[in-house]
């Protein structure tokens, strides 16, 4: 899960009109920006649960309380979506070998072209010679750190 400071930054970034609460639209925007998925109904349900006072506004305290109740794997998947988007430098929705090699280098591992080929073979479930977001997320969700 994001740290207390990260949650506050997410909230402040989402509070575009700086009125110290979030509307449903602002909650939708911040959730999407931060890598959370789900249709509008899922986000509306989150908003309703977060709005503990029932005033159609979500304060920082309500936001932090609601986010902290979500399962850890939900936060991890959202983080992986944000990471994937940063590594997808050409923005085409997949990581090619060069992007994967750059990503692993950023993460501290310097793999040879041959190693990247092996990694791609293992992670690329649809044999496209690229990693889509779901393949990338599954690789990290199944890794215990």
Q: What is the pLDDT of residue 37?
A: 85
Q: pTM of the prediction?
A: 0.75
Cα separations (Å) of 9 from 13, 27, 32, 60? 6, 13, 15, 10
Confidence of residue 4 (pLDDT cuts 50, 70, 90): low
Confidence of residue 70 (pLDDT cuts 50, 70, 90): confident
Q: Taking the CB of residue 113, how many other CB atoms lie within 10 A of it? A: 9
Q: What is the DSSP letter of 55?
A: S
CA distance 53 to 74: 25
Q: Taking the CB of residue 121, how many other CB atoms lie within 10 A of it? A: 10
Domains of the chain plus CATH, in order, are: 4-70 (1.10.238.10), 75-141 (1.10.238.10)
- Judge whether 20 and 59 are in contact, CB under 8 Å: yes
CA distance 143 to 63: 29
């Amino acid at each position: 899960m994001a740290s207390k400071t990260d949650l506050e930054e997410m909230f402040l970034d989402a509070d575009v009109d700086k009125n110290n609460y979030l509307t449903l639209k602002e909650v939708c925007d911040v959730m999407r920006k931060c890598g959370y998925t789900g249709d509008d109904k899922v986000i509306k349900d989150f908003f309703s649960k977060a709005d503990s006072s029932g005033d159609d506004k979500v304060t920082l305290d309500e936001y932090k309380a609601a986010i902290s109740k979500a399962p850890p794997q939900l936060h991890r998947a959202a983080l992986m979506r944000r990471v994937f988007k940063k590594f997808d430098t050409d923005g085409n929705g997949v990581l090619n070998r060069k992007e994967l090699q750059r990503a692993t280098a950023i993460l501290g591992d310097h793999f040879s072209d041959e190693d990247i080929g092996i990694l791609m073979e293992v992670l690329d479930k649809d044999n496209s010679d690229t990693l889509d977001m779901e393949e990338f997320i599954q690789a990290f969700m199944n890794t215990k750190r």
